[in-house]
Amino acid sequence: MLAWTGASTRALARRSGAACAALALLAAGGCAVAGADGDSVARKDELVIGMSPDKPGLGMRTGSTYSGFDVDVAREIAKRLGVPAGKVAFRPVTSATREKMLRAHDVDMVIASYSVTPERKTQVTFAGPYYVAHQDILVRRSDTSIKNVRDLKGKRLCDVPGSVSFPRVTRERGVAAVSVKADTYGECLTKLQSGALDAVSTDDLILAGMAAQSAKDGGAPLRIVNAPISDEPYGVGLARDDVDGCEAVNKAITTMYQDGTAAKLLKQWFGPVGLQVTTTVPQFEGCD
């Protein structure tokens, strides 16, 4: 009959289901399974994924199609969650809208060079990180004078208002670089090529994407210094408390590294520009 011990969880779920059925017959009582959030990305048949539209090499929209490392990672995760490619839609997000769109369920997850921070963790649940990027420096290949962040002293460094990258070098690291303002990192790239500035500093994956873009466009050859000055764990943003979804995404990321997919994608997108990528699975944040 009913065992006191040794029952598997699945058998127990069946048994409590049977108890619910008996209860429904007796008292028409509700038998909602607590903790089973119907909205979890672990159980969705289709996914809307928030994506950067303007980061070459990571998430770049051309017409209605997206391409980049983040896009491929998003497709792999969706596939491993059992959602076919045809059921995955991308929607552009910015750093100002990410949390809001997750909360409003406008997007099911955000994969958009989204760094996990303790403050953000109070608003959204993060699976992953799927990669730990580092703030690094991009220079013209002909420039050999910059080997680490301290060498930026007196150099003209791109300063994008609203971005933390410039103050991280000047204020936090105390390196007296000269500010050259630009509205976007695209403009930084143009100015670096034209010689209007000496260096661009931001996440290495973004720099690698820019360098690859530049090589494709036939611009001056660029070089990533490979002198990391911060850890930027790129997480998969999920609606707050979607613990089941977080665990499912973590499992997808784990298998993506185990079967070599992650290494292949990293080499494909960032290998050609000489960025030293890490091809082992990052340390996860944990889901609760």
3-state secondary structure of 85: helix
Q: Which of 173, 178, 187, 240 binds other proteins (CB under 8 A)?
A: 173
Site for other proteins in 203-242 (CB under 8 A): 228-231
Given the complex with other proteins, which of 22 and 89 has the nearer CB atom?
Answer: 22
Residue 198 one-letter amino acid: D
Among the listed ranges 102-110, 185-193, 210-218, 250-258, the one in contact with other proteins (CB under 8 A) is 250-258
Among the listed ranges 15-23, 57-65, 90-98, 262-270, the one in contact with other proteins (CB under 8 A) is 15-23
* Residue 247 binding other proteins, by CB under 8 A: yes
Among the listed ranges 64-72, 95-103, 168-176, 189-197, the one in contact with other proteins (CB under 8 A) is 168-176
Q: How far apart are CA 102 and CA 162, in angstroms?
A: 22
Q: In what order do the strands lie in the sheet with 54-55?
A: 54-55, 59-62, 65-67
**125: which DSSP letter?**
E
Among the listed ranges 27-35, 55-63, 180-188, 190-198, the one in contact with other proteins (CB under 8 A) is 27-35
* Residue 260 binding other proteins, by CB under 8 A: no
3-state secondary structure of 157: strand
Closest Cα partner for 127 from 113, 116, 139, 140? 116
Closest Cα partner for 275 from 58, 93, 95? 58
Q: What are phi and psi of 201, to 5 degrees?
A: -125, 120
Q: Name every residue whose Cβ is closer than 8 Å to that of residue 104 and which is 6 or more positions away in sequence.
A: none
Residues 210/185, Cβ–Cβ less than 8 Å: yes
* Residue 114 binding other proteins, by CB under 8 A: no
State the residues that interact with other proteins by CB under 8 A.
Answer: 2-5, 7, 9, 12-13, 15-16, 18-20, 22-23, 26-27, 29, 31, 33-35, 118-119, 121-122, 148-150, 167-168, 171-174, 228-231, 243, 247, 250-251, 254-255, 258, 278, 280-284, 286-288
